[in-house]
Structure 1
Amino acid sequence: MGNSNDVVLLYKTYDIVTEDNNSSIKYPGDAGINADINSIARISIVSTILDVVCRTTGMGFAAVARVTDTKWIACSVKDDINFGLKTGGELLLETTICNEIREDRQLVVIDHVDKDERFCKHHTPAMYGFQSYISVPILRKDGSFFGTLCAIDPKPALINTVQIRGMFTLFADLISMHLSSQDELLASEAKILEEQKISDKLQEALQTGNMGTWSIDPKTLHVSMSDNIKELFGFSLTHDISMEQIMEAIDPEYHKPLTDVLTNAVEKHKSSDITYSITNLVTKERKWVRATGKVFLHGNDPVEYSGLVMDVTADKMEEMRKNDFIGMVSHELKTPLTSLNGYIQLLQRVAIKGADTFAASALGKAHAQIKKMSNMINSFLNVSRLEAGKILIQKHEFQLDELLREIIDETDLTVSSHMITFLPCCQVMIYADHDKIGSVISNLLSNAVKYSPKGKQITVKCEIIEDSVVVSVKDEGMGIKPNDINRLFDRFYRVETKHTQNISGFGIGLYLSAEIVERHDGRIWVESQSGVGSTFHFSLPLKAQEIV
């Protein structure tokens, strides 16, 4: 049968290439076909299936074929009749019955070609010289057509039985299952490889950016961290790190803030972002680090608290130099400005005494401008002190409603362009820094005046909400866009629009206000609608007995 010249011309064969002790077929020109052939080659049970098929049916040739709309390729072959087709060999698709099976996906069984009404005159048996034939489709898990499990023999065979058809169908399903398992395995391996690549790139990025990873078990407080972070703190690279060692490396002034951060993470599942100083336990070198963290939950239970640590020493030192410079310049400016203010006030009194109204008015305006500049310089000094951790909060008891009235009255004296309304408020005694809270209120009122048109209303309200007192300053100005609100309390941040380009300011007032409120364990926020206006709120903690 294999010696027929007509048969030999109908197929091509390709050599088996062995790589790493695994037989694989190098099918030229089609990577997809090549992958499919090698998928069958990796299923070790296929050779056993073909052997069982031949033994059970008495047929001499059996194969698993990959069948597409253009090709018929032998993926695995058992040939006991010298048919001549090897693994990797290709038959012309149109010469096969498998092409018809691909279209209708039905099993075909022929006991005796010459006596079969459908196939006695079919071109395929005549071309390949077989009398018995069986072929069953192999479908992938997704229902797509892979190929066939088939067998032929030049002699008739009794194979159209329930048992033989069932066996072939079972074997085809078994091959399909193995193909699906391989697909899933290859997909998993590809995913693992991709994740490894991402992990390698992330690790490279972390090392380049002087960053490392850390993790804390919320239940046991067991700590793990990457080697570069261990080196930064001066820890051993080979031993576990305890919480006590970490606290030893962290400068004492940051022990409580970090303890609070850890407590909030474990108990309240809060994310964290904190900058603090450390002293390397080996080199004794002082460094600044920034640690960010997030709590991961399983249901409502925290299972991991982890994040990044960054060496920000260079940035921190540069920031400290800038603050020192701002503090020095502000201090140097303040001395001559104080003297100038004294002279202006003296001249103003002389002008008033001499009934020189023009000079008195001009000197009054000069005095107002000097006061404005003095306030600006004080703001810069406060920023410098704040960043250096030297700003002092001196708390004592005072009535917040009286402070509000005082500042509103002072503002009314210098601002005639807006109507300021102070809504009725109960007497509220608070424990806070009188001057610092006063500067917060002044800043909010000043901003309401600056960022709203002349003639508009400004409303100040003070109310008790649960265990806090909330102060609100509402304007009818230009409003704030949502993308600006998140950064409004950042240092030196200013909203840049065509309406604000002619408004003076350095973007430090709201930053200082937020820091002052935070140091009073309060909260500051804004509600705004572009084109309608804004309402700035700040809250301060309040005990029940503080309400008069």
Structure 2
Amino acid sequence: MNNAITADIATIGRINVVPAILQVICESTGLRFAAVARVSDNSWTACAVLDTLGFGLKVGGELDLTSTLCHEIRGTHRTIVIDKASEDELYCNHPTPRIYRFESYISVPVFRTDGSFFGTICAFDPQPAALKGSPIQPMMESFARLLSIQIESEENAQKTEQALQKERAMAELREQFIAVLGHDLRNPLFAITAGAELLTKRLPDEKSRTIAQHILTSGRRATQLVRDVLDFARGRLGNGITVNIQPCPDLGDALRHVASELQRVHPQRQISLHIGDLSGVNCDRERVSQLLSNLIANALTHGAQDQPVDVSAQIRDRAFVLGVHNVGAPIAPQVLAQLFQPFSHPLNDTVQSGLGLGLYIANQIALAHGGRMEVISSQEAGTLFSFRLPLDPDEAQATLPANP
């Protein structure tokens, strides 16, 4: 038995209406054996059986195709009805009734919805029965059409289930990817940067310290890239960036620390801070700090090199508003449309050192909080990125994105 027929048997076995169809056929005709058969070019296989006759055929059982009348039905696509085979003009000398010892017989073809031949619904009994001209034939042909629809529905359901199982397997691979990225890469990078930082403080000569500083800078850059890709994997491939929202009485200090770190990395640039009273803000401090870091890094990269980057944080109109402003060339409208998409870069010839994930991750952090990112850019006013988080928990909850 080939795999296709095995699959067809399983399909028929999952269709709950099939046993009821066979039961109705037997009760309506008085015939004691009924079956749904898969009939191919070279085989007859029972997919479902109701046997009160003791014929002995089970599901999966096969008959010699050429010995059955279903072989003829496969060729003609026509129903066969016999009341008494021994007196029937067409079948009195036919070998099939003698082989299987029946007098009454009915078999209707079953087609798939695409018109291809599937098999038959058949029934027989050693005793004669008045089948011709009765409602039995149209009833069984209606059952055949119903079965055709049920077969397609079940096969579609199986395809959906297989696709779901494949997606679950892919989700497991994604989770493994995130785990490997988060553990197996970040840990050695931490060791590299920690070791390099120690060397910059202990090496005696300037040349060696410069090399150690280069290793430290590269290690920190690699760590940031891994962090960005990890957040991208969580936001795009996994269940989204997670946040731990709680009261943040030291949020202002955290934002100042972020700006101070970037100022040390870019000593030639000016980062101006305007942080107000942030009492009452509930957020994930580390994630908001990451959001600010990404926005400042973006402003330092794309803003005018001789102009300051202005950072503001305040409570305004019952919302926490965090803004980063820079002077420079405005963002083109076609770029604005995809600004928060992953791996996006401005459409210019400037070589970019990052992956283009910073603004995407900032936006994902904003959405995870129930807030939103906004951007205004013009030649006169420069570019302002703003993170707006409502202080009202109900308003913030209403803006949370649906689970992917």
Map 1:384-463; keep pairs closer than 5 Å. Answer: 384-386=233-235, 387-389=237-239, 391-399=241-249, 400-463=251-314
Instruction: Pick the structure with more helix per residue.
Output: 2
3-state SS of paired residue (2:195): helix
Is the 8 Å Cα contact of residues 363 and 373 (structure 2) preserved in structure 1?
A: yes
Output the TM-score relative to the length of structure 2.
0.52
Identical residues among aligned pairs (%):
22
Instruction: Pick the structure with more strand per residue.
Output: 1
Is the 8 Å Cα contact of residues 278 and 320 (structure 2) preserved in structure 1?
A: no
- Computing the radius of gyration from Cα coordinates, the structure with the larger value is 1
Is the 8 Å Cα contact of residues 470 and 539 (structure 1) preserved in structure 2?
A: yes
Deviations 1:228-277 (A, max 9, x none): xxxxxx99999xxxxxxxxxxxxxxxxxxxxxxxxxxxxxxxxxxxxxxx
Is the 8 Å Cα contact of residues 192 and 216 (structure 2) preserved in structure 1?
A: no
Deviations 1:210-236 (A, max 9, x none): xxxxxxxxxxxxxxxxxxxxxxxx999
Output the TM-score relative to the length of structure 1.
0.39
Supply the distance in 1 between the matched residues of 2:336 and 2:151 (Cα, whole angstroms).
Answer: 44
Is the 8 Å Cα contact of residues 331 and 381 (structure 1) preserved in structure 2?
A: no
Deviations 1:64-116 (A, max 9, x none): xxxxxxxxxxxxxxxxxxxxxxxxxxxxxxxxxxxxxxxxxxxxxxxxxxxxx
Q: Which residue of 1 aligns with 2:358?
A: 509
Deviations 1:373-397 (A, max 9, x none): 1011111112112221164312221
3-state SS of paired residue (1:371): helix
Q: Which residue of 2 aligns with 1:342?
A: 194
1:318/1:489 Cα in 2 relative to 1: closer, same or farther (>3 Å)? farther
1:320/1:444 Cα in 2 relative to 1: closer, same or farther (>3 Å)? farther
Structure number with higher relative contact order (C-alpha < 8 Å, ≥ 6 residues apart): 2
1:364/1:380 Cα in 2 relative to 1: closer, same or farther (>3 Å)? same
Supply the distance in 2 between the matched residues of 1:443 and 1:482 (Cα, whole angstroms).
Answer: 21
3-state SS of paired residue (1:473): strand
Supply the distance in 1 between the matched residues of 2:356 and 2:167 (Cα, whole angstroms).
Answer: 21
1:391/1:535 Cα in 2 relative to 1: closer, same or farther (>3 Å)? closer
Is the 8 Å Cα contact of residues 178 and 234 (structure 2) preserved in structure 1?
A: no
1:512/1:324 Cα in 2 relative to 1: closer, same or farther (>3 Å)? farther
1:359/1:287 Cα in 2 relative to 1: closer, same or farther (>3 Å)? same
Q: Which residue of 2 aligns with 1:70?
A: none
Deviations 1:451-492 (A, max 9, x none): 123221111112323221111100012221011111100122
Is the 8 Å Cα contact of residues 324 and 384 (structure 1) preserved in structure 2?
A: no
Is the 8 Å Cα contact of residues 245 and 284 (structure 2) preserved in structure 1?
A: yes
- Measured after TM superposition, the shift of residue 438 of structure 1 is 0.7
Is the 8 Å Cα contact of residues 396 and 433 (structure 1) preserved in structure 2?
A: yes
Q: Which residue of 2 aligns with 1:496?
A: 347
Supply the distance in 2 between the matched residues of 1:486 and 1:517 (Cα, whole angstroms).
Answer: 18
Is the 8 Å Cα contact of residues 263 and 271 (structure 2) preserved in structure 1?
A: yes
Deviations 1:132-158 (A, max 9, x none): xxxxxxxxxxxxxxxxxxxxxxxxxxx
Is the 8 Å Cα contact of residues 197 and 216 (structure 2) preserved in structure 1?
A: yes
Question: What residue ranges of structure 2 are gaps of 5+ in the alignment?
Answer: 1-148, 394-404
Deviations 1:432-467 (A, max 9, x none): 111111100000001111112322111111232322
Is the 8 Å Cα contact of residues 478 and 532 (structure 1) preserved in structure 2?
A: no
3-state SS of paired residue (1:519): helix
Supply the distance in 1 between the matched residues of 2:245 and 2:233 (Cα, whole angstroms).
Answer: 21
Q: Which residue of 2 aligns with 1:527?
A: 376
Question: CA RMSD, aligned part only?
Answer: 3.5
Is the 8 Å Cα contact of residues 401 and 428 (structure 1) preserved in structure 2?
A: no
Aligned partner letter, 1:454: Q
Name which of 359, 366, 373 aligns with 2:215.
366
1:358/1:517 Cα in 2 relative to 1: closer, same or farther (>3 Å)? same
1:447/1:317 Cα in 2 relative to 1: closer, same or farther (>3 Å)? farther
Supply the distance in 2 between the matched residues of 1:341 and 1:405 (Cα, whole angstroms).
Answer: 23
Is the 8 Å Cα contact of residues 344 and 357 (structure 2) preserved in structure 1?
A: yes
- Measured after TM superposition, the shift of residue 507 of structure 1 is 1.4
Aligned partner letter, 1:350: R
Supply the distance in 2 between the matched residues of 1:370 and 1:497 (Cα, whole angstroms).
Answer: 28
Supply the distance in 1 between the matched residues of 2:366 and 2:243 (Cα, whole angstroms).
Answer: 11
Number of positions where the alignment pairs a residue of Structure 1 with one of Structure 2: 241
Is the 8 Å Cα contact of residues 309 and 324 (structure 2) preserved in structure 1?
A: yes
Map 1:145-224; keep pairs closer than 5 Å. Answer: none
Supply the distance in 1 between the matched residues of 2:335 and 2:150 (Cα, whole angstroms).
Answer: 42
Map 1:259-408; keep pairs closer than 5 Å. Answer: 285=161, 287=163, 328=180, 331-351=183-203, 354=204, 356-386=205-235, 387-389=237-239, 391-399=241-249, 400-408=251-259
1:370/1:458 Cα in 2 relative to 1: closer, same or farther (>3 Å)? same
1:528/1:477 Cα in 2 relative to 1: closer, same or farther (>3 Å)? same
